[in-house]
Structure 1
């Protein structure tokens, strides 16, 4: 996008505006453009995408200022320590600043990448939620960067890894997978570790960083996890309503998944979609799943969702397919519950990890005792 005008302007739609942020390399320009878009979205100068409008596909990877932060593999990133030294607290803050910068891109990417796919039937509330997430993450980035500077460092002083975006790239084909992995699982893991991070800052004399995390960032991150849960519920209810007999349209199932205050906006969005058929959306405007959709044929994501009786079961399947790494306690049960992300969502996945660990121990013990290899394999297969 070298030489392109990336300034958000009145008349942009929210997908085009999101694209401009993703193509902005400098993190401070990214933040400034985010705030400008938020203001124009809220006062109506930036609106919903119109059916048939041409949009370039979102970039495979957001623009990054190569001289700002050197990216390294996760196992090569600096150790943060436990906050007992100034260098450790600087490393902790640097990592948080980098995470928030990546989170700004993730919020805009979900709009740019999936916001044009008509099969998801996304009401205005979806865009509202993730514009708000982008605004929050932008504010977190700037506030944490100020703290990093206050303790004598700066963003780019240390290397960082790009694990969050690498995980996002694995779900670029699917809004349900993106919601399950990035906006439910990763957000919830962030809530799990925040109390310990706050304690480490406070117990080592950095009350200002602790207060920022506890009084500003913590509660807003809860709302971000809640957004992931809310829209995965929306998709599951929508899918369950698809293909029903006449007189039981998908909108009825969908309406149970979103807040009552959004019904009027959703109805307007559906009327707009009915007035302009999905075929009018150009190939560049949406992911491949939305292209070539035949009347009466369910999209692949909906077929998958309908195989699971509950949204929690669907979530488990999505995480098992697309999330790398263990999901193990301790869990921040209070924060997860506040986000609508109760134990029925995550404990079965944690049990997977515990069962696998127990199976591995049993296999090792059996192997040490000279038992047949087949027995050990059976133990692992049961996990």
Structure 2
């Protein structure tokens, strides 16, 4: 719930230190509170995706706008990883270890992108953003199976598809540091989607569900929008998507 960016990063570092010193208490809390709006600074203003201005990457503003949108995704990803730890209190020990690791990497990503944005003359919050990632996190807070299917395996997996073209665009305008950052993000996000895939499969096994059928059903029932390509099949395979899932995605490119 912390709103201050710098304090949030410090508190996350403290959480990681507490974890390494075995100071976590795994006793479930009496209640688990729904979080409609996780802690974030007053800016950026949040607007529907269709209301975001479209800027050309060749302009200074367009360049900064791309980095700002990436910073916004990475910031939201910190909150959603922490929410998984807090919300789903009956999971194995390794679940919390995995998602705390994801939260730490997302915070590192956010700091890198924020610094690069600063070098372009902007700060996180200077431009409007949308809140699709957190809204899906909120809408899937009743079931870890649905959360793992929709947040890491659908929304974050989309990042695996769109990052290589963004790297090419940044390379075309000579942004070497931006290219370096996005390569780190792509590498780490494969691991984050793999964490979601692993726990999705674990929950399917616990409930005697076929993972492929369950994933398709959840997409049909809960995903707002079209699942569409082009897909980065290599990255998705590295992130644990099965051959059956890859073949299915090829039919909806």
TM-score in same-fold range (> 0.5): yes
Q: Could you tell me which residue of structure 1 aligns to residue 240 of structure 2? A: 340
Q: For residues 80 and 166 of structure 1, what CA distance do their matches in structure 2 show? A: 25
Q: Could you tell me which residue of structure 2 aligns to residue 293 of structure 1? A: none
Q: How does 1:4-153 map to 2 (within 5 A)?
A: 23-45=1-23, 47-51=24-28, 53-54=29-30, 57-66=33-42, 68-81=43-56, 83-114=57-88, 116=89, 118=90, 122-153=91-122
Structure 1 residues 335 and 349 mapped into 2: Cα distance closer, same or farther (>3 Å)?
Answer: closer
Q: CA deviation at 1:217?
A: 1.4
Is the Cα contact below 8 Å between 2:34 and 2:138 reproduced in 1?
no
Q: How does 1:219-258 map to 2 (within 5 A)?
A: 219-240=187-208
Q: CA deviation at 1:63?
A: 2.2
Question: Which consecutive residues of structure 1, in runs of 5 or more, have no partner in the other structure?
Answer: 1-22, 241-304, 355-383
Q: Secondary structure at the match of 1:75?
A: helix
Return the match for 2:152 from 171, 177, 183: 183
Question: Which consecutive residues of structure 2, in runs of 5 or more, have no partner in the other structure?
Answer: none
Is the Cα contact below 8 Å between 2:2 and 2:40 reproduced in 1?
yes
Q: CA deviation at 1:346?
A: 5.1
State the TM-score, normalized to the length of structure 1.
Answer: 0.63
Worse-matched range after superposition: 101-110 or 70-79: 70-79
Q: CA deviation at 1:106?
A: 0.5
Higher Cα radius of gyration: 1
Give the aligned CA root-mean-square deviation in angstroms. 1.7
Alignment deviations for residues 106-147 of structure 1 (CA, whole Å, 9 cap, x no partner): 101111111x2x4xxx21111111001100100000000000
Q: CA deviation at 1:325?
A: 1.5
Q: For residues 7 and 79 of structure 2, what CA distance do their matches in structure 1 show? A: 12
Q: For residues 144 and 222 of structure 2, what CA distance do their matches in structure 1 show? A: 12
Q: How many residues align?
A: 253
Q: For residues 112 and 50 of structure 1, what CA distance do their matches in structure 2 show? A: 11
Q: CA deviation at 1:209?
A: 0.6
State the TM-score, normalized to the length of structure 2.
Answer: 0.94
Alignment deviations for residues 47-89 of structure 1 (CA, whole Å, 9 cap, x no partner): 24125x53552423202322x21111111112243x2222111
Return the match for 1:318 from 218, 227, 239: 218
